[in-house]
A and B are shown apart, each in its own frame.
Chain A
Amino acid sequence: MNILQATDIVKEFQGHKALSNVSINVPKGSIFGLLGPNGAGKTTLIRIINQITAPDSGTVTFDGHSLKRDDVFRIGYLPEERGLYKKMKVGEQSMYLAQLKGLSPRDAQNTLKEWFDKFEISGWWNKKVEELSKGMQQKVQFIITVLHQPDLLIFDEPFSGFDPINVNLLKKEILKLRDNGATIIFSTHNMASVEELCDQITLINEAETILEGEIGEVRNKYRSNIITVGVEGSIEGISKNLDKRFELLSTEENGIKKEVRIKIPADSKPNELIQALIPMTEIHSYNELIPSMNDIFIQAVNKASKNGK
């Protein structure tokens, strides 16, 4: 079941198309990666989901009904462009923002205390925001986003400004939120964390969806059938005698380490290459090169841009 379904969203800004017929389906309880280069239209789509702007056409369905004003209380949004009132105290400010999300003062106080303890920042309650470092402010912001226990969480570049230790803390908390039943839309340019966290992705480029699906399937689709083989002995032999079905892409010789990259036909099995190589050389390692999300992102976007032109 999908908690959020955006169908054929079109949004135009005075001659410039921000979204043209974009659809996303976010399954309940998943972590959904909304990816795309800068200016692709991600933020516009997120703003539509948050009812900050309305689409020119298309529908948004939230938890089975068409999106309505009160749904903002069930959504938590951490925008990419985020900040806090600098002159306001941390505690007071958190209370204010929590109440804007519909919490009663008492609930807000209690939940805030819990989260502040969990993040070990209880001592900041009476500090002014301007006294905190960027990373500290980000922590407060994260807490404010998740405080009202929303069913849908939207994180736009949540890890920017955090050190690796805090990134891990945050990842842990995000996974915990998912395990407790929340759905997460995750927008980032950090593809390593996409691989690590996301179940599903949609890649938007120039206002259009160019790639979508379950992350394993996407990566499978982009399999290159390239094998990296670590060998000992002469590389020249391999290049001379290799069967024509296999394409030797590159060789690398670096001290004792010798590596060749070979493309195999899509219908062949790994063992076939091994068998072909055994007579020629000593095999030390054998790895299929699975493209990273980073490669897939670049490939998909480049291909789409080329097609567009």
Chain B
Amino acid sequence: MSITSLIVKREYTTRVRKKSFLIMSILGPVLFAAFMIIPAYLATIQDKDVKQVAVIDESFILTSFEEGTSECVIPDTEFLKFKLVEDTELDVLKENFSSTGYYAVLYIPKNILASNKIIVYSDKQPSLDITSHIRSSIEAEIENQKLAANEIENLEEILAKIETSIKVSSIKWTKDGEDKKSNTGLTMGIGYASGFLIYFFVFMFGAQVMRGVLEEKNSRIVEVIISSVKPIQLMMGKIIGIGLVGLTQFLIWVLLTATLVLGAQKLIMPDLVQQSPMEQVTSNELFTEHLPTEGLQGQLPDESAEVDEGAEFVMDILDGLESINPIKIFLAFIFYFLFGYLLYGSMFAVVGAASDTETDTHQFMLPITLPLILGIFVMITTMNNPDGGLAFWFSMIPFTSPIVMMVRMPFGVPMWELLLSGSLLVITFLGMAWVAGKIYRTGILMYGKKVNYKELWKWLKYKN
């Protein structure tokens, strides 16, 4: 086995066997899965408590008088009931609020038409769902009443006619003349996620390179080792070994997250899985294409109407994926992840070599953190204008291109730009590795010396 691969192997195995690697490997997917599952899960569990809201309507606008009884016009929902209170004053309710059992008191003042204001009293903060239900119901009712006051004939027909809902579907023209449906939300999501992951990985594993170099310096093993191997071999072995750890961690995350999300869907939300629009789509197709029997079709409409919207959403995503070309993005991600990490890893190695303690490293961190954070800032602008000048230039500059180009990727990037950005990155990495090797070689054998940028420049110029 060659010397460098021995070093790579040690760096890899010692790190992969660490407890922290195991914890990160499990915690990462759990967190990712939680981000995906919990909002969906929360959406499925609604508040099961039935809440009673007392309504004091001084304006009488929201009270309907029918068959001798009066009722509040705000529609009840499954868990939210509105009860008109006519015989009790607000002050009395306030005094005995806890004993009345009401969740809240809705007070509609006399001058609501002029003031457009209502008040919800409660001893708790009413949830957004409740206030927005109340608001929209009252808005709708008052709007209706105002419309009715104009005494337009066939009002309801007219309203039904003018009701419009527009869906935007965008189609991308590709070079070979194909039309591809794109999905802006998905495109931005993928761009954002991969850009941010690269930022995160570069920082996390770059810092590990730095700490590894420091460890070797501080434990004084470095001189033992470089009497057998060249410093550049030690440095590159470390950077590559840790890079492989990063790749491994990434793949574990992808696999585990996928497993967790799918598993959780089956466990926590079996209903949701059954109603999975994707399946509905296929089943609909099955029915219409292969089993167009009248009896079955007769049973279908209700259900399919319900899932239509969901199915359309999923179809949009699938179409969107097609226009994005996931394999191309995956390959680009691996490329930019690797070379972005290699570029910054070399810089981190220099910082480690020039320092004695972790505290010493801070003074050299600026050249590393500045471009990375700049990349994140530009990333946000890039999402809104992926083909703008700012996005273009920062996806060419090797120090920001791994982040910014990944954001642009899903929107479609011309091949020549990819090639140019890629080669610039590789060339810069090679240059940086050469520079880093020279500084590293001197730095690892320096102890207890206060080092500054001028000193680094000197080291760079040393002959061997």
Closest to B226 in A: A52
Query: Judging by beta carbons under 8 Å apart, are A72 and B228 in contact?
Result: yes
Query: Judging by beta carbons under 8 Å apart, are B219 and A54 in contact?
Result: no
Interface residues on A, range: 20 to 34
Closest to A154 in B: B227
Query: Judging by beta carbons under 8 Å apart, are A99 and B1 in contact?
Result: yes
Query: Judging by beta carbons under 8 Å apart, are A79 and B14 in contact?
Result: no
Chain A nearest CB from B5 CB (Å) reads: 10
Chain A nearest CB from B165 CB (Å) reads: 63
Query: Judging by beta carbons under 8 Å apart, are A100 and B225 in contact?
Result: yes
Chain B nearest CB from A138 CB (Å) reads: 12
Query: Judging by beta carbons under 8 Å apart, are B447 and A79 in contact?
Result: no
Q: A75-B227, A99-B6 are in contact. Are A82 and B221 (CB under 8 A)?
A: yes
Report A-chain residues with C-beta under 8 Å of the C-beta of B117.
none
A97 within 8 A of partner (CB): yes
A159 within 8 A of partner (CB): no
A186 within 8 A of partner (CB): no
Chain B nearest CB from A73 CB (Å) reads: 8
Report A-chain residues with C-beta under 8 Å of the C-beta of B14.
85, 87-88
B171 within 8 A of partner (CB): no
Chain B nearest CB from A94 CB (Å) reads: 11
A86 within 8 A of partner (CB): yes
From the candidates A79, A83, A96, A99, name the one contacting B227 in the complex (CB within 8 A): A79
Q: A52-B445, A99-B6 are in contact. Are A85 and B224 (CB under 8 A)?
A: no
What count of chain B residues pass the 8 Å CB interface test? 26
Query: Judging by beta carbons under 8 Å apart, are A84 and B219 in contact?
Result: yes
In the bound assembly, the distance between CA atoms of A197 and B45 in angstroms comes to 83
Query: Judging by beta carbons under 8 Å apart, are B227 and A97 in contact?
Result: no
In the bound assembly, the distance between CA atoms of A293 and B463 in angstroms comes to 37
B3 within 8 A of partner (CB): yes
Chain A nearest CB from B440 CB (Å) reads: 13
A81 within 8 A of partner (CB): yes
In the bound assembly, the distance between CA atoms of A62 and B345 in angstroms comes to 37
Would you list which residues of chain A between 11 and 65 have a CB under 8 Å from chain B? 13-14, 47, 50, 52-54, 56
Report B-chain residues with C-beta under 8 Å of the C-beta of A53.
464
From the candidates B7, B220, B231, name the one contacting A81 in the complex (CB within 8 A): B220
Report B-chain residues with C-beta under 8 Å of the C-beta of A203.
none
In the bound assembly, the distance between CA atoms of A84 and B218 in angstroms comes to 10
Would you list which residues of chain B between 222 and 237 have a CB under 8 Å from chain A? 223-229, 231
**Proximity bits, A165-205, B CB within 8 Å = 1, else 0:** 00000000000000000000000000000000000000000
Would you list which residues of chain A between 67 and 114 have a CB under 8 Å from chain B? 72-73, 75, 77-79, 81-88, 96-97, 99-102
Chain A nearest CB from B232 CB (Å) reads: 12
Report B-chain residues with C-beta under 8 Å of the C-beta of A101.
228
Report A-chain residues with C-beta under 8 Å of the C-beta of B216.
85
In the bound assembly, the distance between CA atoms of A251 and B231 in angstroms comes to 60
Query: Judging by beta carbons under 8 Å apart, are A54 and B221 in contact?
Result: no
In the bound assembly, the distance between CA atoms of A52 and B218 in angstroms comes to 18
Query: Judging by beta carbons under 8 Å apart, are A83 and B6 in contact?
Result: no
B51 within 8 A of partner (CB): no
B458 within 8 A of partner (CB): yes
A227 within 8 A of partner (CB): no
Would you list which residues of chain B between 207 and 256 have a CB under 8 Å from chain A? 215-216, 218-221, 223-229, 231
A141 within 8 A of partner (CB): yes
In the bound assembly, the distance between CA atoms of A79 and B221 in angstroms comes to 9
Query: Judging by beta carbons under 8 Å apart, are B219 and A100 in contact?
Result: no
B10 within 8 A of partner (CB): yes
Report B-chain residues with C-beta under 8 Å of the C-beta of A72.
227-228
Chain A nearest CB from B19 CB (Å) reads: 11
Query: Judging by beta carbons under 8 Å apart, are A83 and B458 in contact?
Result: no
Closest to A55 in B: B464
Chain A nearest CB from B186 CB (Å) reads: 44
From the candidates B7, B219, B231, name the one contacting A83 in the complex (CB within 8 A): B219
Query: Judging by beta carbons under 8 Å apart, are A141 and B224 in contact?
Result: yes
Q: A84-B221, A85-B221 are in contact. Are A52 and B215 (CB under 8 A)?
A: no
Query: Judging by beta carbons under 8 Å apart, are A144 and B227 in contact?
Result: no
In the bound assembly, the distance between CA atoms of A87 and B218 in angstroms comes to 13
Q: A52-B445, A54-B463, A87-B14 are in contact. Are A82 and B224 (CB under 8 A)?
A: yes
Chosen A-B contacts, 12 in total, with CB atoms closer than 8 Å, are A52-B223, A54-B463, A77-B223, A81-B223, A82-B223, A83-B219, A85-B14, A85-B219, A85-B221, A87-B14, A88-B14, A97-B224
Other A-B pairs, 16, CB within 8 Å; known A52-B226, A97-B228: A13-B462, A14-B458, A14-B462, A75-B227, A77-B227, A79-B223, A81-B220, A81-B223, A82-B223, A83-B218, A97-B225, A99-B6, A100-B6, A100-B225, A100-B229, A101-B228
Query: 7 closest A-B pairs (Cβ-Cβ)?
Result: A83-B220, A54-B464, A83-B219, A77-B227, A79-B223, A100-B228, A50-B227
